[in-house]
A and B are shown apart, each in its own frame.
Chain A
Amino acid sequence: MNEVVIPMEDIQEKDRNTIGSKAFSLHAVMSTGLNIPPYSCITTKAYERYLDSGSLQGRIIMELSRKDAADMRWEEMWDTSLRIRNMFLNTPMPEALASEIRKGLDRHLTRVPVVVRSSAPGEDSANTSFAGLHESYVNIKGMDSIIEHIRLVWASLWSDAAFLYRNELGLDIKNSTMAVMVQELVAGEVSGIVFSSNPGNSLQMIVEAVHGLNQGLVDGDVEPDRWIIDRNTGTLIEHVSPSGRERISSLSDTGTVIQRTSGNISVIAPLNESDIHKLREAALLLEKKFGHPQDIEWTKKEGEIYILQSRPITTDTDTEKLWYLSLRRTLDNLQDLRKKIESKLIPEMIGDAQAMRSVELRTMDGPELAREIMRRKELYERWKKRYADDLIPFAHGMRMFGRVYNDVLKPSNPYEFMDLLSGSGLLSVKRNEELNRLAGMLRRDDLLMHKARSNAIEGNFRKEVDFFLENFGHTGIYKSEEELLKLIVELASSPKKRTPARKDTSGLQKKFISAFSQKDRAFAEEVLDIGLVSYRLRDDDNIYLGRIEGQYQASLKEAKQRIAGRIKDFDVEGDVGEEELLKALADSGYVPAKKEKITTESPPDREYTRQVRGQPAGEGLVTGVARVITKNEELFNIKFGEILVCDAIDPNMTFVIPLVSAIVERRGGMLIHGAIIAREYGIPCVTGIPGATQLIQNGDEVTVDGYLGIVTIRRSSPR
């Protein structure tokens, strides 16, 4: 008896926990007489033996010890998952185990294209079903490739989505395990899903179908035809056609590909009434078998319907998790998004900021200015939403590139791919180079330096500063020219000029592209291109958004200047809220009330955190004095060599990076703005330090270990 492989016909009740929910359910589907593609199960024992075979288990434990998952942001979960996945990629399967799998696997499955699917125990119980948390690989051919993809499916036990649902799954190194199905690929002419009960109306059933394979429908790249039918009578209630049927998911040499439909397929609905009837019958049968409404994946080939999987319908209402899951995009989807961002969103953002700048605020009366403030606020809020809807998801481009890079090159450092992306001309780096040029002018001219120190610039330097403000100054950060001059003077006074670390990436690029076969190189280039654009836009789009915010801030600043004279005992800048400001603009006699500040008295601290571990987001080791930033204006107080400690850095703040010697950030991630800019300048960076700006005080001596992600704090004075 082979303990690691069980063919579908040998499955028994006792195997439920070792073959996983998906494999066990499909066996139950088979017992109803419905067609299923033949499959074999690689049991959880194989996963456990693999984990025990070397240092993998210990390395996963070390990775999980880095930080409590409850304190992780989704980007950190992605990073953790990437690191663990890389461990699996670099840990070969022990030969004895691989040999047992080879012996046990049905010969037929090694001669036909297969799907290597995850089948985690407890994944799809009657009460919980978490589709898409683990990986499946379509169109895998031959034993060696099957073995390799089994490892990738095992790795997906620790996927970012699984971390997101860790509580529901009970994800834990001691108890979590993974089985795998190796299943013949049935390349149907038509595929789809059935919800045996419409989650919105239990009297109805929903059928969705696309031409070709299911992959495009599941990934959201191909819009399906949708039928709503009466569960009891089978009467068609509604047929919703897609906006087009021009896209189809088909088999490529390795995997699947989205192509344009050929012939007259695009004008034909994928299913006829008889098909829908058959699917309804099957869905009702399966619902009866499992005793719960089912979410069924199916495909139709040569007139026969095959059930690919059946799991209970569950509706997740956690919008944050669903939003995160929606960030996972395919290459096609990202390419579409890129077009939208480059040809529409960025030009619109630039246009909106320019249009606001051309509005003369000073000539407006109070009520007009109040309306302009509200208009700008709404516009800013709208852009923030579009940023979340379209621009954040596009950042997935560099993640996709990273995965492809790691899959094909299996580097020991899972972030080697970032070396290929950095130095791609970020707007923020161009801005910093411009600031360095201005600082250079001061460095060479003592008189000019003197004038800049006393805010009395003129002549050519005045023009240069105006030009800088014209290009980069219209963000919410620079409140005044004095602040900008203070920064340039500090840069000019710095003992060392820090410039972006230039790396020759041509060798690495060649290594990446040449790792693909000739026919797949176009794909490699496309993925690299998406990675590069995604890396650049992730930073640049914040600069554009900053310009919108800057115009909103400019309108508030104008209002504050107007009412400053009405206030005696407090500061208009920090103590007057927007609502009071608007009232004061509407009524020239109104004196705005002071904003209430909530202060909490805390007893003197007897304990302080001396060392804390986060994400090692930029290599290097440095010790320096902490400069803790809690308000943007504090950025202008930074002195050369200090360590920037902040909550979350964005590209509108990174003009101080040429001054600082390291970054410590509360927001965690290896690919976030702080990490990106640290890499560009080659300075150490640790992200994901919870409460960084509270744990560390201005003046503390801080050591930033960007290799291991450790921050050590030496208190300058008691609190």
Chain B
Amino acid sequence: MQKSDLMESLKSLMKEQKLAVLASFHDNEPYTNLVGFAASDDLKYIFFVTPVATRKYSYLITSRKASIMIDNRSNNEYDFKDAMAVNATGNVMVVEKTDDHKALYLGKYPYLHDFLLSPSSALMKMEVRSYIVASRFHNVVEIDMA
């Protein structure tokens, strides 16, 4: 696949998929959650929201290290041929719920309006260091975003 094609596939995957697996890290143990996410147009940043009284929030605040897996599997045998899985790795921080950030997130999840705006939830931004894209079972491409 051409590089430009891959970026386009990546963009459309990020747009279409509603949930991703977020992996955080604490006390030498990984910890995973499902999160709704929205990526910036240039794919440099991935945004998600979490209540502040959660493990993932406290782990991310402490270590900042995280990875996010986004995939399009449909839970059948064709997945081995057709599914695409992307692993984004980077650092996470809490960011202001600015109008631009809100527009990006609510553009994808308009129904999570109250969740995003709740004073008890935080908007998190991952600065993506790299994407690792796996397709056709064992084809793996790494994209350096730094």
Contacts and interface: CB of A to CB of B under 8 A. Distances in A.
Interface of A: 54-55, 57-59, 61-62, 611, 621, 623, 703, 705-708, 710, 712
B119 A621 contact: yes
B118 A611 contact: no
B11 to A, nearest CB: 22
Contacts of B113: 55, 59
Contact of B52 (A57, A61, A62, A621): A621
Nearest to A55: B110
A705 B53 contact: yes
Among A57, A61, A703, A705, the one with the most B-chain Cβ atoms within 10 Å of its Cβ is A705
Contacts of A707: 118-121
A335 B5 CA distance: 70
B110 to A, nearest CB: 3
Given A57-B111, A708-B114, 13 more contacts: A55-B113, A58-B109, A58-B110, A59-B110, A59-B111, A59-B113, A61-B111, A621-B52, A621-B120, A705-B118, A708-B120, A708-B121, A712-B53
Interface string B45-80: 000000111100000000000000000000000000
Contacts of B52: 621
A705 B113 CA distance: 17
24 contacts: A54-B110, A59-B110, A59-B111, A59-B113, A61-B111, A62-B111, A62-B112, A62-B115, A621-B52, A621-B53, A621-B119, A621-B120, A705-B51, A705-B53, A706-B120, A707-B118, A707-B119, A707-B121, A708-B51, A708-B118, A708-B120, A708-B121, A710-B51, A712-B54
Contacts of B119: 621, 707
Contacts of B51: 705, 708, 710, 712
B128 to A, nearest CB: 26
Contacts of B121: 707-708
Contacts of B112: 58, 62
Nearest to A623: B53
A430 to B, nearest CB: 31
B111 A611 contact: no
Nearest to B106: A55
A241 B112 CA distance: 56
A377 B25 CA distance: 60
Contacts of B53: 621, 623, 703, 705, 710, 712
Question: Which 10 residue pairs spanning A and B have beta carbons closest together?
Answer: A58-B111, A55-B110, A703-B53, A59-B111, A707-B118, A621-B120, A707-B120, A705-B120, A712-B53, A55-B111
Contacts of B118: 705, 707-708
A611 B110 contact: no
Interface in B105-134: 109-115, 118-121
A74 B52 CA distance: 31
A369 B76 CA distance: 75
Interface of B: 51-54, 109-115, 118-121
B54 A611 contact: yes
Among B110, B114, B119, B120, the one with the most A-chain Cβ atoms within 10 Å of its Cβ is B120
Nearest to A621: B120
A706 B53 CA distance: 12
A115 B119 CA distance: 43
A706 B52 CA distance: 12
Contacts, number: 44
B50 to A, nearest CB: 11
A57 to B, nearest CB: 8
A288 to B, nearest CB: 49
Nearest to B109: A58
Contacts of B120: 621, 705-708, 710
A708 B115 contact: yes
Contacts of B111: 55, 57-59, 61-62
A261 to B, nearest CB: 49
Among B52, B109, B111, B115, the one with the most A-chain Cβ atoms within 10 Å of its Cβ is B111
A707 to B, nearest CB: 4
B97 to A, nearest CB: 14
Contacts of A62: 111-112, 115
A55 B113 CA distance: 10
A238 B54 CA distance: 69
B55 to A, nearest CB: 8
A244 B27 CA distance: 78
A61 B119 CA distance: 22
Nearest to B18: A58
A284 B110 CA distance: 53
Nearest to B121: A708
A708 B115 CA distance: 7
B75 to A, nearest CB: 19
Contacts of A706: 120
B21 to A, nearest CB: 18
A404 to B, nearest CB: 23
B26 to A, nearest CB: 14
A61 B121 CA distance: 20
A718 B109 CA distance: 39
A55 B115 CA distance: 14
Nearest to A61: B111
B70 to A, nearest CB: 19
A58 to B, nearest CB: 3
B37 to A, nearest CB: 16
A59 B115 CA distance: 11
B52 to A, nearest CB: 7
A518 B39 CA distance: 51
B100 to A, nearest CB: 19
A715 B69 CA distance: 30
Contacts of A710: 51, 53, 120
A705 B114 CA distance: 13
B86 to A, nearest CB: 24
A62 B49 CA distance: 15
Nearest to A706: B120
B1 to A, nearest CB: 33
Contacts of A621: 52-53, 119-120
Contacts of B109: 58
B104 to A, nearest CB: 15
A57 B119 CA distance: 24
A62 B115 CA distance: 10
Contacts of A54: 110
B16 to A, nearest CB: 15
A513 B3 CA distance: 63
B29 to A, nearest CB: 16
A708 B116 CA distance: 10
Contacts of A58: 109-112
A571 B58 CA distance: 48
A550 B80 CA distance: 71
Nearest to A58: B111
Contacts of A611: 54
A712 B56 CA distance: 13
Contacts of A703: 53
A398 B118 CA distance: 26
Nearest to B112: A62
A285 B51 CA distance: 62
A623 to B, nearest CB: 7
Contacts of A708: 51, 114-115, 118, 120-121
Among B51, B52, B112, the one with the most A-chain Cβ atoms within 10 Å of its Cβ is B51
A55 B53 CA distance: 27
Contacts of A57: 111
A714 to B, nearest CB: 10
A703 B121 CA distance: 13
A63 B51 CA distance: 17
A363 B44 CA distance: 85
Nearest to A702: B53
A316 B118 CA distance: 42
A57 B54 CA distance: 27
